[in-house]
């Protein structure tokens, strides 16, 4: 995974959230409130689900949109993406323990 791209996207969201909504799509989303961000995120999820019946390029395009809008919502509710990664790390250890206990 190219973490530089993800870090740049996270930085851009933080930087642009307080700009004029006329100049930044991210600011426009923030200006719409959490309900506006959630509405747009759900739209993107629906588009992603539809894309699964299409070609690989369409799926990648829609997956990118979902990821961006997901990160915007995390920023909107003041949750650092590193906290999500930390939770995934904890869960991966738990899964490993459960797996080892079965064998």
58: pLDDT strictly greater than 80: yes
Task: Give the pLDDT of residue 69.
Answer: 98
103 vs 54: which has the higher pLDDT: 54
The CA-atom distances, in angstroms, between 101 and each of 16, 37, 55, 67, 97 are 47, 42, 40, 34, 6
Instruction: Dump pLDDT digits (tens) for 4-51.
Output: 999 999 999 999 999 999 999 999 999 999 999 999 999 999 999 999
Average pLDDT, the chain: 92
Question: In this structure, are residues 71 and 5 in contact, taking their beta carbons and an 8 Å threshold?
Answer: no
Question: In this structure, are residues 27 and 17 in contact, taking their beta carbons and an 8 Å threshold?
Answer: yes
Q: What's the CA gap between 87 and 103, in Å, rounded? A: 25
Domain ranges of the chain: 3-102
The pTM of this model reads: 0.86
Task: Give the pLDDT of residue 76.
Answer: 97
Task: Give the pLDDT of residue 97.
Answer: 61
Q: CA neighbours within 13 Å on the CB side: how many for 36?
A: 10
Architecture per CATH, 3-102: Orthogonal Bundle (1.10)
91: pLDDT strictly greater than 90: no
Task: Give the pLDDT of residue 100.
Answer: 59
Angle between helices 3-16 and 56-76 (to 10 degrees): 50
What percentage of the chain's residues is helix, strand, coil (to nearest 5)?
Answer: 80, 0, 20
């Amino acid at each position: 995974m190219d973490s530089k791209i993800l870090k740049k996207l996270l930085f851009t969201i933080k930087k642009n959230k307080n700009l004029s909504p006329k100049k930044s799509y991210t600011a426009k989303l923030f200006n719409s409130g959490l309900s506006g961000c959630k509405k747009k995120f759900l739209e993107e999820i629906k588009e992603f689900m539809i894309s699964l019946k299409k070609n690989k390029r369409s799926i990648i395009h829609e997956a990118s949109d979902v990821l961006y809008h997901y990160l915007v919502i995390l920023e909107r509710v003041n949750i650092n993406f590193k906290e999500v990664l930390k939770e995934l790390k904890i869960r991966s250890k738990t899964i490993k323990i459960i797996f080892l206990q079965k064998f």
